[in-house]
Amino acid sequence: MIRKSMPAPVKRGLITPGHGVAPQNAYLIIFTDIKKEATVIKLDGNMSLGREVPGNTPDISLDSPIVSRKHGLFTVNFDGFYYQDTDSFNGTFINGILYKRDENPCRKPIKLNDGDVLRLDNRDVRNSHADAVTIVFSTSYDKRSKWRRAKLKAASNPIGLSRKNLLELDSSQMAYHYADVTLQETGCMLCNTAHRNNIWYNNRPMTGHCFVRSKDVFRVNQNYLFYDKGEILYNICLVTEPGLDVHLAETHVADKMKKKVLLKDIHVTIDKGDFALIIGGSGAGKSTFMNSVLGKYNTIGTISIGGRPTSGNSELTSGIAYVPQTLPIRKEERLIDVVTDTCILRCKRKMSKTQRTQFIMNTLDSLGLKGKANMEIKKLSGGEQRRAAIANEVVTDADIFFLDEPDSGLDPKSGIELMNNLKALSDIGKMVMLISHNYASYPSPEQIYTKVIILAKSNRDGIGRLAFCGSVPEALDFFDVEALKDITKLINPVSENGEGRADEFVEKYRRMHPYG
């Protein structure tokens, strides 16, 4: 546990002279457990660091046996921030150099620079303590950062700007393939493939190869990557524009003159650029959720796009494209004729005839259908017909795409190709949401989907409720499973060979994410 307490401030001038006023914002990024997000604390003047025990309450409290009661002290002067190891048993590593109490240098404060790495660990970091703590001092950390986690594969793991990388970072200075991380028995090998001075290990530029051990941190531009036990925890800064906000108290229909509630307490936010997978057991309300947003059911609650309510606003709802399970296209006609008619009637973008033709052909090309433009839709393969239905919606230039089992009936290879096509839509800022029962056959779902929405049918009243909304790694942690396919078994009723724990996880998520 990391706790920032608020006792009386440390007296200024104990370590260095000065005014004790920070010249700029500074943050401590604290890594303790690869399974948890990093803890970020703003340095507010002089702050003590240590382990809390009766009679000793440090400003920054670290619940770790490797940390001494009075481990260190951060101080501020007119020219920056300083750190001094005060009375610790094991000392403090700063950028790989050990400062400890039985050596004179530890009695002197060390000036901190942006990106400096502090390590509270055994004196031999090659044998890292299980409860070791790694701290990064940063004056450039972006508070909008989100934390993600990736499990390394046995082979090479690429890092860069492209979505094809295992770790897709976000810096405008990033190369599409910036570095490789190769998993080894006692750590991982980091290789700078871009050969630029923008990768730091222990806050020193690294242009070749470097061995990274557990609890180590390296930096790529302003992305911090914490390695431990075959996984990497890293930050990205996602500056998102307002997207789709769904807050449904309930969705209901009339059944034999009585109100029948289908969904209850659904609170979901989809940002521009999100590719969201919707999963859940039979009768959990996946299609009902989509149709609720489309306005096809009676609902109590609010739905907004870009911060504007959709109720009574046809302009906003027309910006939603929907591909149902049954393909709604004229199969007797040529593909080019169908999508051209749709573009003329529904596309919100103003274009000349030449621009429209180019837009349509670019759309077909992006979905692998350019060579099929003059064919009758009925003569296309099943996978091509699915993509044709999607193309027929893409040419409307919609902002939001709902797809109800678009990969139904497709073989795994065709399904993966389709997922890549849809991912490309989200990559250009579209919001894509789909229901799929074949997701388990696709490798690396964390690289495909930015979010997963999990609906569960209550065992008590049969109403569909939200059991989870977040990233794929977060979902695996929340349900404590190895793969997404294991989640449906947990929440499905016993009558459907499940464990019948839907209500347990619905309540757990509600407690963690209360609304209203």
pLDDT of residue 175: 43
pLDDT of residue 20: 44
pLDDT band at 102 (very low <50, low <70, confident <90, very high): low
In a shared domain, residues 78 and 216: no
pLDDT of residue 426: 86
Cα–Cα distance list, 357 to 277, 279, 341, 353, 362 (Å): 32, 37, 11, 6, 9
Model pLDDT for residues 365-390, shown as the tens digit of each residue: 988 899 999 999 999 988 899 899 99
Instruction: Please say whether the beta carbons of 142 and 129 come within 8 A.
Output: no
Q: How far is CA 292 from the centre of its chain?
A: 26
pLDDT of residue 72: 93
Q: How many Å from the N-terminal Cα to the C-terminal Cα in the chain?
A: 28
Last residue of a domain, one of 190, 208, 237: 237
- Residue with more model confidence, 313 or 359: 359
In a shared domain, residues 249 and 151: no
pLDDT of residue 219: 87
Last residue of a domain, one of 121, 138, 155: 138
Range with lowest mean pLDDT among 89-98, 194-203, 247-256, 414-423: 194-203
- Which two structure tokens, joined as six digits, stand for 404? 């109800």
- Name the pairing type of β-strands 298-305 and 244-255: antiparallel
In a shared domain, residues 25 and 121: yes
In a shared domain, residues 133 and 7: yes
The stretch 173-190 carries a mean pLDDT of 73
In a shared domain, residues 210 and 129: no
- Output the DSSP codes for 475-493: HHHHHT-SSTHHHHHHHS-
Phi–psi pair at 296, nearest 5 degrees: -90, -5
We report the CATH number of the domain holding residue 116 as: 2.60.200.20
Residue holding tokens 């409290």?
Answer: 61
The stretch 107-126 carries a mean pLDDT of 87
Say if residue 9's pLDDT is above 80. no
In a shared domain, residues 131 and 168: no
pLDDT band at 170 (very low <50, low <70, confident <90, very high): low
pLDDT of residue 241: 65
Gap between the Cα atoms of 512 and 509, Å rounded: 5
Residue holding tokens 């593909």?
Answer: 335
In a shared domain, residues 121 and 174: no
Amino acid code (one letter) for 80: G
- Cβ neighbors of 13 (< 8 A, separation 6 or more) are 20
- Domain of 49 in residue numbering reads as 2-138
In a domain, 333, yes or no: no
pLDDT of residue 7: 34
Number of residues that this document lists for the chain: 516
Total number of domains constituting the chain: 3
Closest to 271 in 3D by CA, of 304, 233, 315, 309: 304
133-138 β-sheet, strand order: 39-42, 27-31, 133-138, 117-120, 92-94, 97-99
- Name the pairing type of β-strands 156-160 and 179-184: antiparallel
In a shared domain, residues 129 and 151: no
In a shared domain, residues 83 and 18: yes
Say if residue 177's pLDDT is above 80. no
In a shared domain, residues 13 and 108: yes
In a shared domain, residues 196 and 311: no
Model pLDDT for residues 235-262, shown as the tens digit of each residue: 877 555 678 999 999 999 887 778 899 9
- Cβ neighbors of 41 (< 8 A, separation 6 or more) are 2, 4, 27, 28, 30, 60
Say if residue 492's pLDDT is above 70. yes
Gap between the Cα atoms of 356 and 364, Å rounded: 12
pLDDT band at 184 (very low <50, low <70, confident <90, very high): confident
The stretch 88-97 carries a mean pLDDT of 91
We report the CATH number of the domain holding residue 515 as: 3.40.50
Say if residue 343's pLDDT is above 50. yes
pLDDT band at 447 (very low <50, low <70, confident <90, very high): confident
In a shared domain, residues 14 and 116: yes
% of the chain residues with pLDDT over 70: 88
* pTM, entire model: 0.59
Q: How far is CA 197 from the centre of its chain?
A: 27
Helix axes 502-512, 472-479, angle to 10 degrees: 120
Which secondary-structure segment (H or E) carries 181? Answer: strand 179-184
Say if residue 277's pLDDT is above 90. yes
In a domain, 428, yes or no: no
Residue holding tokens 């396919």?
Answer: 485
Last residue of a domain, one of 189, 217, 237: 237
